[in-house]
């Protein structure tokens, strides 16, 4: 993505606003932490903010801007290996502990014998990007949690920021009020054109059914969409919506709670239930009532046509139909059931317009 495109992304704009407003802790929920972190780093370069990144595999990595300023000063960088122990180099606590040391070196007063220039800055903004910090915030991490709290308390006045990008929400009670939570939405309509252009030549897109491709792609991440397009090109020498649907169905099933309802069932194939079918048809055709119906509660023993009715409704409306298994979303751990349902509803939301069939909804109230 170009710098201009990155700056226009809603989550990037919101991130810049929160840094400008001195929110020292920013937690961003994203299915694409690598892609989003790269975008945020591009935004930091444009804003002339210093940054570094950490993840458990790569450890702590300094941004090029930090290295450049010390090179311009003809000074040595206080490298992490000089400040941290061997164990701390790959730990999140080490990355957080290193922040004040680096900021102090970046913002120290200009020596009297220093050459003239703008490399001595007293208002430096320093950002630490972390990935999947949630994996380290269990009950056995009190030192890391306290280190984060101390850093974030001092961060607003010192222009020191900790930004975590993770697919999970922040559930550590001690940190909930320390971080502001943002959300990186899945790609939507116009964004799929740019993704498609990365896979096929721009001039060939006009020969494709781009609207059908966008519709089929809703609910996929950027990488999933790229993979689906590439696979379709290998099979057909062009991008075919049907192939994207198959890739998306496989992705939806990974959630463990959603299942696509696919088939050619129509209302005519279902015996009885005439009142419900008439009601659904009238709802689809539009209503003059001030309040339009948006749902139907179906009660009945297994085998009476509830799932078939949902499939038929989807085919009649020309919309995707998904089944949400409440029983599959339930988990013995506190908060996990709600998280599973929230994730499933996020997928449904980005795939709108869609029809959601909630199976065994009574289990949600048990």
The pLDDT value given to residue 110? 65
- For 118-140, write each residue's pLDDT tens digit: 455 555 789 999 999 998 987 66
Domain 3-110+119-183 belongs to what topology?
Rossmann fold (3.40.50)
SS (H, E, C) the chain: CCHHHHHHCHHHHHHHHHHHCCCCEEEEECCCHHHHHHHHHHHHHHHCCEEEEEECCCEEEECHHHHHHHHHHCCCCCCHHHHCCCCHHHCHHHHHHHHHHHHHHHHCCCCCCCCCCCCCCCCCCEEEEEECHHHHCCCCCHHHHHHHHHHHHHHHHHCEEEEEEECCCCCCHHHCCCCEEEECCCCCHHHHHHHHHCCCCHHHHCCCCHHHHHHHHCCCCHHHHHHHHHHHHHHHCCCCHHHHHHHHHHHHHCCCCEEECCCCCCHHHCCCCHHHHHHHHHHHHCCCCCCCCCCCCCCCCCCCCHHHHHHHHHHHHCCEEEEEEHHHHCCCCCCHHHHHHHHHHHHHHHCCCEEEEEECHHHHHC
Residues of the chain with CATH 1.10.8: 186-254
* pLDDT band at residue 82 under the 50/70/90 scheme: low
The pLDDT value given to residue 23? 95
For residues 55 and 131, the answer to whether their CB atoms sit within 8 Å is yes
* pLDDT band at residue 325 under the 50/70/90 scheme: confident
The pLDDT value given to residue 85? 58
Nearest by Cα to 312 from 252, 357, 270: 270
Model confidence pTM above 0.85: no
362 or 230, which is more confident = 230
CATH of 255-285+295-366 given 3.40.50.300, 3.40.640.10, 2.30.40.10, 3.40.50.880: 3.40.50.300
Residues of the chain with CATH 3.40.50.300: 255-285+295-366
67-72-75-80 Cα dihedral, nearest 10 degrees: -10
**Is pLDDT at 173 greater than 70 in this prediction?**
yes
The pLDDT value given to residue 331? 60
**Is pLDDT at 148 greater than 70 in this prediction?**
yes
CATH architecture group of domain 186-254: Orthogonal Bundle (1.10)
The pLDDT value given to residue 360? 73
Question: Residues 139-161: what's their mean pLDDT?
Answer: 87
- Percentage of the chain beyond pLDDT 90 is 20
């Amino acid at each position: 993505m170009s710098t201009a495109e990155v700056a226009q992304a809603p989550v990037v704009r919101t991130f810049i606003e929160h840094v400008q407003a001195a929110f020292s802790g920013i937690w961003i929920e994203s299915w694409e932490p690598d892609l989003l972190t790269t975008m945020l780093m591009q935004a930091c370069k444009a804003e002339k903010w210093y940054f570094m990144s950490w993840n458990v595999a790569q450890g702590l990595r300094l941004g090029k801007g930090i290295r450049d300023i010390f090179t311009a000063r003809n000074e040595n960088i206080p490298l992490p290996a000089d400040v941290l122990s061997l164990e701390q180099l790959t730990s999140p606590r080490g990355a957080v502990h290193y922040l004040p040391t680096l900021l102090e070196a970046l913002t120290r007063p200009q020596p009297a014998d220093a050459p003239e220039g703008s490399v001595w800055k007293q208002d430096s903004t320093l950002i630490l990007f972390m990935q999947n910090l949630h994996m380290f915030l269990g009950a056995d991490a009190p030192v890391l949690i306290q280190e984060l709290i101390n850093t974030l308390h001092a961060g607003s006045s010192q222009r020191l920021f900790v930004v975590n990008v993770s697919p999970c929400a922040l559930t550590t009670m001690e940190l909930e009020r320390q971080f502001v939570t943002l959300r990186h939405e899945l790609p939507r309509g116009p964004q799929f054109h740019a993704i498609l252009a990365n896979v096929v030549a721009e001039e060939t897109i006009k020969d494709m059914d781009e609207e059908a491709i966008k519709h089929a792609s809703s609910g996929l991440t950027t990488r999933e969409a790229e993979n689906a397009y590439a696979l379709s090109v290998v099979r057909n020498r062009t991008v075919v919506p049907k192939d994207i649907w198959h890739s998306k169905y496989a992705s939806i099933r990974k959630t463990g709670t959603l299942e696509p309802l696919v088939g050619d069932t129509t209302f005519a194939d279902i015996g009885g239930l005439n009142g419900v079918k008439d009601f659904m048809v009238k709802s689809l055709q539009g209503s003059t009532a001030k309040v339009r119906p948006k749902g139907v509660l179906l009660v009945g023993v297994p085998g009476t046509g509830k799932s078939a009715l949902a499939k038929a409704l989807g085919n009649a409306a020309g919309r995707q139909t998904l089944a949400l298994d409440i029983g599959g979303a339930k988990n013995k751990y506190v908060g996990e059931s709600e998280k599973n349902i929230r994730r499933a509803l996020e997928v449904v939301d980005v795939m709108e317009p869609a029809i959601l069939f909630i199976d065994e909804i009574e289990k949600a109230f048990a």
